[in-house]
Amino acid sequence: MAAGPQPVCGEPVSEAPVVPVTVPVEAVAPAIVDSPAAGQENVRTRWESWMHAVFTLREDRFFLMLAVVIGVFSGLVVVCFRLAIEWTQITLLGASLSPSFPRVVLAPTIAGIVVALLAIHVFSRVRGSGVNQVKAAMYISNGYVPFGTVIGKFFVCALAIGSGQSLGPEDPSLLMGAGIASLLGRSLRLSQEKLRLIAPVGTAAGLAAAFNAPISAVLFVIEEVIGTWSAGVLGAIVLAAVSSVVTMRAFLGPDSLFRVPPFRLAGPGEVLAYAALGVAGGAASLLLLKWIVYARPKMQALPRWTEYFQPAAAGLLIGLIGIRFPQVMGAGYAIVDQAMHGQFVWQLLLLLAALKLLVTGFSFLSGTPGGLFAPTIFIGAMLGGAVGSIEHHFFPGLTATIGTFALVGIGTLFAGFLRTPITSVFMVIELSGNYTAILPVIISTMIAYGISRAYQKVPLFDLLARQDGLLLPSIEERREMTSFVVEDAMRTDGVLVAEPGEHIVEVARRAEANPEAALLLRMRPGEWWLLDRDDVLRLAPDAARTTTPIHAKSKGPIPYLFRDQGLGEALQVMGDWPVLPVASRADLAKLEGILTLADTLHAFRKTPKEEAE
């Protein structure tokens, strides 16, 4: 298929020199080391050979190697970050899950003042969503994430979360990963393209280490940051995520974040129980979304001097609530674990879900840096547990435990609130290390996702970006954008196919009968030529019996397409050809239609209504 379609998404041409990667050691080193000097020479030669192999790698391969380094760095930093949060929490709130009265109020309030001062005067970019900061780095600043932000996120978020603010460590972690990746990429002078891609690689590493969930991290980056399954970066993302998780586990252990007893779905009827949870989760995620969407602009509109006191005010409110309900403070993973073990009655579960929704709003809207992932997990678990308890009350025959409902609730709220359905499903499995919940999670998350989409058109991250004055590409919109294929634009008429052995008079006769049709010559299966109509018509009157279309002027062989190929891909192949044949994949000699530039452009201009028709 010499003239077949060219690869559209092939590997980008490396900017690094393409030289032989390795030089056989045997070719350089002497076979026998017969003196110390010769031995030293041998070692030096080997070293140089190795260094040469490393530093003259093609950039793609170097990028993959770098992804592992990014993963290890990110894993280490995330471990330190998590330890910092724990230390801060023990120091400020005490070791007990129920902090004593003065601490519970004073710690988040005073820490709030410090956080505000640091965020305003020292680390001015620590506020805001880490996901959007990564996207901004990728789409606006060529992969640049200031390293100061990494340091800022580390200390300010550790202080905020450790003091009891209702935020999580995942969002800062992913930004830290991206910041480290960006620093390494810049230091190693990667190409512009790779620099742009390196932020998502770091993001995956940071998130994977924070969640102890490499698959979810990879999926999240694809679903929310990149938006496509780009083969060019997927390998690096996976490597970074895996290496960061391995690093993290080396220090914090291999245990899943939550431990849930296994269960089985007794019958199809039980699916309804999870569908109900999906509806509740969808409603709750909408509530949280609307609460943030509504209140954030109002908070941003407050006078600037109030920014000094907003985190402290949020901390005070959280502390006051924490006197009676300390469970809502901080990331709350220990409480989620308790809920999964059925430690709370449904009334308390519902109350905790509602309070967490409220205090998370306080923390986030006050501009306290930190992530929304952990609160989402908390609210989802509490809501799931409550729905499960209520359903158990009315249907005691349900086999699933409260823990299972809590677990499914996590995925449900995650899908509804963050709008990453695939990530949500896999996250639940990875967080619990339990595959048995997959079917309920899929059912529940899809319902919640549907409800959230129906009543909140713009996803959370896009909304936050717009409120911050950034016009970042909407991954959800991009993900669901209609992709046109050749079939949408090709035409099946307006073409005449001539055979090499056909008499030219016959071809000319057919061409005269169809004055608008393009003339294609089928030399052999998979080889098409474009005939010059005028030349065919010119030769025909005086043609001998042996004159065939081969004798006419023609261009070719021309590339051909298949009906399922994307139109973007077709445009790349089209080049200067006025028309391209669309062949059958089953039979390359069979012409299914033709594609012209005008047809292609017309297809792109089609309105949705026309498309539906």
Where do contacts with other proteins occur on this chain (CB under 8 A)?
16-17, 19, 23, 28, 45, 48-49, 51-52, 54-56, 69, 72-73, 76-77, 79-80, 83, 86-87, 90, 95-98, 184, 187-189, 251-253, 255, 259-262, 334, 337-338, 340-343, 401-403
Distance between CA 387 and CA 563 in Å, rounded? 49
Minimum Å gap between C-beta 363 and other proteins is 21
CA distance 46 to 33: 13
* 56 versus 572: smaller Cβ distance to other proteins: 56
N- to C-terminal Cα separation, the chain: 36
Least Cα distance to 416 among 455, 474, 378 occurs for 455
Closer by beta carbon to other proteins, 8 or else 19: 19
Nearest CA to 152 among 319, 372, 368? 368
Instruction: Read off the tokens for 129.
Output: 């969503």
353 to 340, 367, 581: CA distances (angstroms): 14, 22, 60
- The whole-angstrom separation of Cα 248 and Cα 225 is 23
Closer by beta carbon to other proteins, 181 or else 558: 181
Q: Give the angle subtended at the CA of 83 by the CAs of 79 and 85, to the nearest 5°.
A: 120
Nearer to other proteins, 232 or 261 (CB): 261
Minimum distance from residue 71 beta carbon to other proteins (Å): 11
368 versus 401: smaller Cβ distance to other proteins: 401
Shortest gap between Cβ of 402 and other proteins (angstroms)?
7
Q: Which of 77/219 has CB closer to other proteins?
A: 77
Spatial separation of the C-alpha atoms in residues 500 and 352, rounded to whole Å: 79
Say if strands 591-596 and 554-558 run parallel, antiparallel, or are unpaired.
unpaired
Q: Quote the least distance from Cβ 441 to other proteins, whole Å.
A: 18
Asked if 520 contacts 591 with a C-beta cutoff of 8 angstroms, the reply is yes
Q: Does residue 461 contact residue 131 with C-beta atoms inside 8 Å?
A: yes
Give min distance, CB of 151 to other proteins, in A. Answer: 13
Choose among 170, 375, 227, 203: nearest CA to 291. Answer: 375
**Which CB sits closer to other proteins, 44 or 585?**
44
Q: How far is the CB of 43 from other proteins (least distance, A)?
A: 14
Peptide bond into 557 cis (omega under 30): yes
Q: CB of 160: closest distance to other proteins in angstroms? A: 19
Q: Which CB, 91 or 300, lies closer to other proteins? A: 91
C-alpha to C-alpha distance for 530 and 413, rounded to whole angstroms: 58
Q: Give the residue with the Cβ less far from other proteins, 104 or 418.
A: 104
Q: Which is nearer to other proteins, 429 or 591 (CB)?
A: 429
In angstroms, what is the minimal distance from the CB of 330 to other proteins?
A: 11
CB 338 to other proteins: min, Å? 7
Q: Which long-range contacts (CB under 8 A, 24 or more apart) does 95-99 make?
A: 97/326, 97/327, 97/334, 97/335, 98/326, 99/164, 99/322, 99/326, 99/329
CB of 236 to other proteins, least distance (A): 16
Say if residues 601 and 488 touch (Cβ distance below 8 Å).
Answer: no
User: Edge-to-edge, what's the strand order for the sheet holding 527-531?
Assistant: 495-498, 518-524, 527-531, 554-558
